[in-house]
Chain A
Amino acid sequence: MSLEVVLQSIFSAAFIATVIRVATPLILPAMGGLLSDLGGVINIALEGIMLAAAFTGVIVSGFAPQWFPGAPAWSYPWLGALAGVLVGMAMGWLIAFFHLELKTDIILTGLAMNILASGATVFLMFSFTGDKGSTSTLASARLPSLQIPFVNNVPVLGTLLNGENGTGYNIMSYLAFALVAVIWIFLYRTPAGAHLRATGEMPDAAQSVGIDIRRVRYQALVASGFCAALGGLYLSMGYLSIFQANMTAGRGFIALAVIFLGNRNPIGALIAALIFGTASALGTRLGTMAIPPQFVEMIPPAVTIAALIIYNIRRRARINAAARRFQEQTAP
């Protein structure tokens, strides 16, 4: 494939559709991580939670016909999703319990959760399906996509609003964007959101006005488990329809980077997630050219590093500019 074709494919509605699909599993965990981080309890187990939820969703939806014989077939993906979300929330609660009650270090606790999830999912996958690589032998369900009617006949708009195949985006993609708006309103317009931000920024102040900071932090971590679980479910029940060992591939950690690049605010995090999404989508497109795949895989991390460097250069520049102004002022 020539460069021309690649460029053409980049500047197309289909490319934007790809970006949205790739960004979805970053936006969801980033929103969860943002809630816990603003509450002063950083959740670095987003990766593990996504993985555990992705696995649970596939297993429960795949075995639903056996486990819930009376349930109608349309309910299988929803049973899977429900189970996945519950597992995610339980893991969030567990981190909160270890950190807040037993006073463990929150970073180490998160790290332990990640290792646990990575090992436990493979172990359980083998127990349930007899396979250690993926659940391809299991007929698991997919979460539905939402198709917007009537626009498919309009050339660009159809692709933009309903994706390349015109089948519409997965329901989780809609949920991801909706969640950004909901979380923004929650954080900046509701009392509970103000309490969360106060708890993270100045715990003593929050406590002194009667806010139960322990409860706030429990809620924040459980909510972060919920959001991260949605991201994981999208991967195994939307983006793909199987579970693969360690299929999250670092997305939980990129989501953490997204939070900080987005200046710890939901809109910023959304933009940062879309930038990462663009980088990954670009990587996929370039993969079709005669470029070594190792190089292509380097694009998303390279963008991360570049973004951090640019962020710091700008910060230094601001400091230096201030120093210069100030030198000029004080020069004799």
Chain B
Amino acid sequence: MAALVEMKQITKVYPNGVVANKGVDFSVEQGEIHALVGENGAGKSTLMKILYGLEAPTHGEIWLRGRRVEIPNPHRAIELGIGMVHQNFMLVPSFTIAENIVLGSEPRKGRFIDRAQAIAVTEELSKTYGLQVDPTARIEATPVGMRQRVEILKTLYRGADLLILDEPTAVLTPQETDELFMAIRTLVNQGKTVIFITHKLVEVKEISDRVTVMRHGEVTGRVATRDVTEADIARMMVGRAVFLQIDKPPVQRGRVVAEVRNLGYVAETGRPVLRNVNFSVHAGEILGVAGVEGNGQTELVEVMTGLRPATTGEILVDGKPVQRQSPRRIRLSGVAHIPEDRLTNGVALDATIAENLVVDRYNRPPFTQRGVLSPQVIRKHAETLMQQFDIRAAGPDALMRSLSGGNMQKVIVAREFSAEPVLLIAAQPTRGVDIGATEFVHTQLVTKRNEGKAVLLVSADLAEVMSLADRIAVMYKGEIVAILDNGPELTEEEIGLYMLGVRRQEVVTKAA
């Protein structure tokens, strides 16, 4: 097989001095599925952005089909038959699927868009590659899985032979992932080549022919997938052995700490987002919330932590109602919150680590004495927590903005855990965090549970929920459709059926 793409000695240094790629050699053969794996910040996205013309390399050459090419912009990449499906979908919400697919290269009838032709082309592509879409549906009304198919069709419409998929399964249910894998195999059978960026090792094993592993901007492994195990790949990614399994003692369920009764939430737009949500979290357990993103998990957490007002129902923490109270009041009732959107709700980017560590307690002694802040106490507090939670930074006065995603998350974890909560709500606590920090957060969550705290863990990563939670609540269209006991007999597929709304437990809506 001939190399379709060869990237030689690619180096990328950003203006701020960060070296994202150091002399990277990367090659993909015609007709293969090539997995590109690595931790966050390993440089895989940068490498692909260079290939797609979104970033210019500082050094290095790109060869395509045996010829040297320059790719100064995505337009050129498209001309060369390279297509990229981004992690955040690049779709216009108010446009229809057909309009999105042809955007930028519309079929024309005179001066006008040939709308019939746009729909016909969409249907034809959809049939050829087995990617089902409804051409006249608006993007804002379509599920995530379909949006992804639209993105793939978009690249195919533009004549892509090489498709770069950037973490395509991050937002999919197991069933949707299976469908995607089937579609990828169809594409390859029809002569396309696929680069698959991921950090889920199971997927690497399942779908790819070859794998390139990156760490700290360098390639640390380039192997045929069948020759290696998941553990081998993990070692190449982090440079040491990783515990993929989490050990935790059997659950010791205590009293009910938090109880949610008939909770409902209607969004500003009038759309009901949460319906009749009932569950309770006990001391000493982790209740996981699984579901495809956008089924109300975000709103559930925001309603419980006071960021949005509940429309109906009650939330009790230690028997006291807290619904529709301010975030501060809710915190004072013993609720801690690791928010999903770290950069917006988790930290103040332009404040220091020390400041971020006291934002929930600066107004109480010992941080404030007679109405005046005590800088020494705040600094000391930060030093202690930084050591305890292994936060790597220049010092307590380092700006939050200068930290990596993993260290930023550790600051939040340090603040929330040290608040001594009775209920800890963790939303997507390891998103965008590297394996090392992920392990750390997982261990900390289990420790809190073992100490007898109640933990509510919301995560789009089903593997994470399944490895940590004692019970799993599944959300679908704003409802909890099942609460399952987690154990070895519970499979991803079974949870997937609930996530897709195919199955539901009838009892959950009544039982608390």
B99 to chain A: which residues have CB within 8 Å? 194
With A194-B106, A198-B95, A205-B92 given, is the CB distance from A330 to B275 under 8 Å? yes
Contact A191 B262 (CB under 8 A): no
Q: How far is the CB of B78 from chain A (nearest CB, A)?
A: 6
Does B27 count as interface, using CB distance less than 8 angstroms?
Answer: no
Does B311 count as interface, using CB distance less than 8 angstroms?
Answer: yes
Contact B104 A211 (CB under 8 A): yes
With A208-B86, A209-B105, A321-B270 given, is the CB distance from A330 to B95 under 8 Å? no
Q: How far is the CB of A214 from chain B (nearest CB, A)?
A: 12
Does A8 count as interface, using CB distance less than 8 angstroms?
Answer: no
Contact B92 A323 (CB under 8 A): no
Distance in angstroms between the alpha carbons of A194 and B90 in the assembled complex: 15
Contact B93 A201 (CB under 8 A): yes
Q: How far is the CB of A193 from chain B (nearest CB, A)?
A: 8
A210 to chain B: which residues have CB within 8 Å? 73-75, 78, 104-105
Distance in angstroms between the alpha carbons of A322 and B270 in the assembled complex: 6
A interface residue count range (under 10 / 10 to 19 / 20 to 34 / 35 or more): 20 to 34
Interface centre among B84, B89, B275, B311 (most CB of A within 10 A): B311
Specify the chain A residue showing the minimal Cβ separation from B272: A326
Does A103 count as interface, using CB distance less than 8 angstroms?
Answer: no
Distance in angstroms between the alpha carbons of A206 and B104 in the assembled complex: 7
Contact A191 B108 (CB under 8 A): yes
Contact A208 B276 (CB under 8 A): no
Does A329 count as interface, using CB distance less than 8 angstroms?
Answer: yes
Q: How far is the CB of A28 from chain B (nearest CB, A)?
A: 23
Contact of A206 among B103, B272, B311 (CB under 8 A): B103
Interface size on B, residues (CB 8 A): 38
Does B213 count as interface, using CB distance less than 8 angstroms?
Answer: no
Q: How far is the CB of A261 from chain B (nearest CB, A)?
A: 19
Distance in angstroms between the alpha carbons of A211 and B103 in the assembled complex: 9
Distance in angstroms between the alpha carbons of A323 and B275 in the assembled complex: 10
Contact A326 B264 (CB under 8 A): yes
Can you list, as one digit per residue, whether each of A188-202 has a CB less than 8 Å from chain B (1) or not (0)? 011100110110011
A332 to chain B: which residues have CB within 8 Å? 262
B95 to chain A: which residues have CB within 8 Å? 194, 197-198
Contact B93 A202 (CB under 8 A): yes
Specify the chain A residue showing the minimal Cβ separation from B77: A210
The total number of A-B Cβ pairs within 8 Å is: 93
A105 to chain B: which residues have CB within 8 Å? none
Contact A205 B90 (CB under 8 A): yes
Can you list, as one digit per residue, whether each of A22-50 has a CB less than 8 Å from chain B (1) or not (0)? 00000000000000000000000000000
Contact A319 B91 (CB under 8 A): no
B90 to chain A: which residues have CB within 8 Å? 202, 204-205, 208-209
Contact of A209 among B154, B271, B276 (CB under 8 A): B154
With A204-B90, A209-B103 given, is the CB distance from A326 to B108 under 8 Å? no
Does A318 count as interface, using CB distance less than 8 angstroms?
Answer: yes
Interface centre among B105, B158, B272 (most CB of A within 10 A): B272
Specify the chain A residue showing the minimal Cβ separation from B75: A210
Distance in angstroms between the alpha carbons of A327 and B310 in the assembled complex: 12
B89 to chain A: which residues have CB within 8 Å? 205
Q: 8 Å CB contacts to A: which residues of B44-78?
A: 73-75, 78
Contact B103 A190 (CB under 8 A): no
Can you list, as one digit per residue, whether each of A310-332 has a CB less than 8 Å from chain B (1) or not (0)? 00000000110111001101101
Contact B272 A322 (CB under 8 A): yes
Q: How far is the CB of B83 from chain A (nearest CB, A)?
A: 10
Q: How far is the CB of A112 from chain B (nearest CB, A)?
A: 27
Specify the chain B residue showing the minimal Cβ separation from A212: B75
Q: How far is the CB of B96 from chain A (nearest CB, A)?
A: 11
Distance in angstroms between the alpha carbons of A142 and B93 in the assembled complex: 46
Q: 8 Å CB contacts to A: which residues of B107-126?
A: 108, 111-113
A204 to chain B: which residues have CB within 8 Å? 88, 90
Contact B270 A319 (CB under 8 A): yes
Specify the chain A residue showing the minimal Cβ separation from B267: A319
Contact of B113 among A189, A208, A326, A330 (CB under 8 A): A189
Does B508 count as interface, using CB distance less than 8 angstroms?
Answer: no
Contact A202 B92 (CB under 8 A): yes
B103 to chain A: which residues have CB within 8 Å? 194-195, 198, 205-206, 209, 211
A326 to chain B: which residues have CB within 8 Å? 264, 266, 272, 275, 311-312
A318 to chain B: which residues have CB within 8 Å? 270
Distance in angstroms between the alpha carbons of A330 and B312 in the assembled complex: 9
Q: How far is the CB of A192 from chain B (nearest CB, A)?
A: 9
A322 to chain B: which residues have CB within 8 Å? 266, 270-272
Contact B75 A323 (CB under 8 A): no
Contact A329 B75 (CB under 8 A): no
Q: How far is the CB of A3 from chain B (nearest CB, A)?
A: 42
B506 to chain A: which residues have CB within 8 Å? none
Contact of B276 among A198, A207, A319, A330 (CB under 8 A): A330
A191 to chain B: which residues have CB within 8 Å? 106, 108, 113
Q: 8 Å CB contacts to B: which residues of A207-232?
A: 207-211
Q: How far is the CB of B159 from chain A (nearest CB, A)?
A: 13
Contact B91 A323 (CB under 8 A): no
Q: How far is the CB of A189 from chain B (nearest CB, A)?
A: 5
Distance in angstroms between the alpha carbons of A210 and B105 in the assembled complex: 9
Interface centre among A205, A210, A322 (most CB of B within 10 A): A205
With A322-B272, A330-B264 given, is the CB distance from A202 to B91 under 8 Å? yes
Distance in angstroms between the alpha carbons of A207 and B54 in the assembled complex: 10
Q: How far is the CB of A24 from chain B (nearest CB, A)?
A: 27
Contact A327 B104 (CB under 8 A): no
B113 to chain A: which residues have CB within 8 Å? 189-191, 194
Q: How far is the CB of A275 from chain B (nearest CB, A)?
A: 25
Distance in angstroms between the alpha carbons of A329 and B93 in the assembled complex: 30
With A209-B104, A326-B311 given, is the CB distance from A197 to B264 under 8 Å? no
Does B268 count as interface, using CB distance less than 8 angstroms?
Answer: yes
Q: 8 Å CB contacts to B: which residues of A245-295?
A: none
Does B505 count as interface, using CB distance less than 8 angstroms?
Answer: no
Does B94 count as interface, using CB distance less than 8 angstroms?
Answer: yes
Distance in angstroms between the alpha carbons of A205 and B108 in the assembled complex: 21
Q: How far is the CB of A123 from chain B (nearest CB, A)?
A: 42
B276 to chain A: which residues have CB within 8 Å? 329-330
Specify the chain A residue showing the minimal Cβ separation from B100: A205
A202 to chain B: which residues have CB within 8 Å? 90-93
Contact of A190 among B74, B84, B91, B112 (CB under 8 A): B112
With A194-B103, A204-B90, A210-B104 given, is the CB distance from A327 to B264 under 8 Å? yes
B262 to chain A: which residues have CB within 8 Å? 330, 332
With A319-B266, A321-B270 given, is the CB distance from A197 to B275 under 8 Å? no
Q: How far is the CB of B479 from chain A (nearest CB, A)?
A: 10
Q: 8 Å CB contacts to B: which residues of A94-110?
A: none
Q: How far is the CB of A168 from chain B (nearest CB, A)?
A: 31
A207 to chain B: which residues have CB within 8 Å? 74
Distance in angstroms between the alpha carbons of A319 and B264 in the assembled complex: 13
B266 to chain A: which residues have CB within 8 Å? 319, 322-323, 326
B104 to chain A: which residues have CB within 8 Å? 195, 206, 209-211
5 pairs of residues in contact across A and B, judged by CB atoms under 8 Å: A206-B103, A206-B104, A210-B73, A322-B270, A323-B264
Interface residues of A (CB under 8 A from B): 185, 189-191, 194-195, 197-198, 201-202, 204-211, 318-319, 321-323, 326-327, 329-330, 332
- 5 shortest interchain CB distances as A-B pairs: A209-B104, A205-B90, A322-B270, A210-B75, A330-B276
* Sample of 13 further A-B pairs with CB below 8 A, known A190-B112, A194-B99, A323-B272: A189-B112, A191-B113, A194-B103, A201-B92, A209-B154, A209-B158, A210-B73, A322-B266, A322-B270, A323-B266, A326-B266, A330-B262, A330-B312
